[in-house]
A and B are shown apart, each in its own frame.
Chain A
Amino acid sequence: MKITPAELREKVKGLYEVIPRETEVVKVLKEECNGCGKCADLCPVGVYEINEKKAEVVAIEFCQECGLCYHVCPVGAITFTYPEGGTGIVYKWA
């Protein structure tokens, strides 16, 4: 079974809440990205897609701030930071 980021977003939509953030919690450094696609393949909420052989953050509003992309990127092309206080992913029944 293979799933595209867009299909994945459809599956998890409405199953958690993200309070809108000003901070870019994850960011792709385009000049560093080698287009390997690991972030797009593995992000469990479908934040990334590959466009013109570069990773792109296409759905930041889905990001749960887990840091998987930041750690899995083999060339260090993704940055990660916590969001400003009172925003971002919040969990219920967790």
Chain B
Amino acid sequence: MNYDVIVVGAGPAGSVAAKLCADKGLKTLLLEMGREPGEKNCSGTTIPLFNLYEDFPWINDPEMPITRNVYSNTHYWVFPDGERWFKTEAVGGVVTPPRAVNVYRDLWDPWLASKAMDAGAELRKSTTVWDVIKEGDAVCGVVTHTGEKIRSGVVIAADGLNSMVSIKAGLRDKRRVDEYGVCVKYDFESTPEHIEVAFNMADGQVANESWYGGTWSSGRTGYCWLFPNYDSISVGLFTLLSDLKENPFVLMQRFLEHPLVKTKLKGAKPRYYSVRNLNSCKNGVDKTCADGIMAVGDAAGFTCVVEGCGIPAALWSGKFAAETAIDAIASGDVSYSGLKAYETKWKNSFIARDMAGSKKTSDWLYKTVGAEGIGLFIQHAIEGWMLKHGWSEGGHDDACRSLMEDFIQSQLPRYLKLYGSLYEEGV
């Protein structure tokens, strides 16, 4: 055997798993298909900090490359005519540490991977995994794009939403079309001075923005975002693939034409265009572990559609997989029975509750922003997040609790008022 653990993919899930395995002295190999970690990753990009520093104290590092501290998220609801719109102001004020940070993944991911290397993990770059080595049904290593076979006790698949490792290992089939969403994103070059005014800077922190509805949504609620960096603005659009009638690029151009969006992007110029994918959580996840293998992060299909973010689930599932691998290798049982503790860990965590809440949220993403869409949003917010799924004291639950507290205190009355007025208007 060459390694105790091979982690495929140096994104947030993979780097956390590799770092924690290496911390316990396991011989750990981290494989990355990019020339550097992060160069093939693309997201919004916001990292929520709720409970992050408590569970991952080593992430609380002044060297973390961030582009803005974020104190809140402002929601814009735009009616299907594209003209009338409604805004719920950012609430909660500035806290320290901030609720979230915006980052560039091509800087943040290498920083996170360096933590795994500092702990003793070996990072091999420019290496794609195309297959796994199997003995009977058990996974016992990987095959790289050069045909090299590398053996290990445990393989952790952290190779993204299109994970080839989890398919080759038999954890899942190709995703169904209704499980798949696509994001298109521009990076607009701007100036710090413009950004600080346009995104309501307070005490050095800014507010992210989410935009729902409008003429860009192809008849659905969908959403767009404007996330400010230091001197650029991340402008994204998320849409589900099922029944998608128009090219996401065209939808994005319509969003950019909205008068208010134009003022936010005044003087800014697009310097980058990217396309990436997101799980809709429509059908839950298939298997996440089997003999010799566990899947984490996007590779497992973990996402919180409520927050539009997969990073908390990636970080914590990486942690759960590492803890499980450490115990399984110590006890000499890396079969499914030795690794199934991983399933128990994530099913008892915020990840499972996020997935359940997200399944409901994806229903209203299909609706227009009229009465029905907002009505479903309110119903699912309350039923889905509060009553049915419950809240524990830890992890990402705190993020959703905080969102809901803000929502109930300040936003819900306004949504209800809007909901009522929409019914009167017969929209």
Contacts and interface: CB of A to CB of B under 8 A. Distances in A.
Interface of A: 1-3, 8, 11-12, 15-16, 23, 41-45, 64-68, 70-72, 74, 76, 80-86, 88-94
A16 to B, nearest CB: 6
A51 to B, nearest CB: 19
27 contacts: A1-B253, A1-B254, A2-B250, A8-B249, A41-B246, A41-B247, A42-B244, A44-B182, A44-B248, A45-B249, A64-B276, A65-B40, A66-B182, A66-B277, A67-B161, A67-B180, A71-B176, A81-B130, A81-B164, A84-B128, A86-B33, A86-B35, A86-B125, A90-B40, A92-B104, A93-B272, A94-B274
B187 A82 contact: no
Contacts of A80: 162
Contact of B34 (A12, A74, A86): A86
Listed from nearest, the 8 A-B pairs whose CB atoms lie closest are A86-B126, A15-B273, A85-B126, A94-B42, A84-B145, A93-B187, A85-B127, A90-B39
B386 interface: no
Given A3-B247, A71-B174, A72-B244, A45 B275 contact: yes
Interface in B24-45: 32-35, 38-43, 45
A72 B241 contact: yes
Dominant secondary structure at the A interface: loop
B299 to A, nearest CB: 12
Nearest to B248: A44
B74 interface: no
Given A1-B254, A94-B187, A12 B249 contact: yes
Contacts of B247: 3, 8, 41-44
B128 A44 contact: no
Contact of B271 (A15, A41, A68, A86): A15
B175 A71 contact: yes
Nearest to B242: A72
B354 interface: no
Given A90-B34, A90-B40, 11 more contacts: A1-B250, A11-B249, A43-B247, A44-B248, A72-B180, A82-B130, A82-B162, A83-B33, A93-B232, A94-B43, A94-B274
A75 to B, nearest CB: 12
Contacts, number: 136
Given A3-B250, A44-B182, A44-B248, A93 B130 contact: no
A44 B125 contact: no
Contacts of A82: 33, 128, 130, 159, 162, 164
Given A8-B247, A93-B106, A88 B40 contact: yes
A10 B35 CA distance: 27
B88 interface: no
A92 to B, nearest CB: 6
Contact of A42 (B125, B161, B248): B248
Contacts of B229: 93
Contacts of A45: 249, 275
Residue among B40, B176, B270 facing the most chain A CB atoms (10 A cut-off): B40
A82 B253 CA distance: 29
B272 A85 contact: no
Most chain-A Cβ atoms within 10 A of its Cβ — which of B43, B145, B247? B247
A3 B248 CA distance: 11
Nearest to A7: B249
B408 interface: no
Given A90-B34, A92-B272, A70 B174 contact: yes
B45 A94 contact: yes
Contacts of A11: 249
A41 to B, nearest CB: 6
Given A41-B247, A85-B33, A89-B40, A94 B105 contact: yes
B184 interface: yes
B427 interface: no
A74 B247 CA distance: 17
Contacts of A93: 104, 106, 187, 229, 232, 271-272
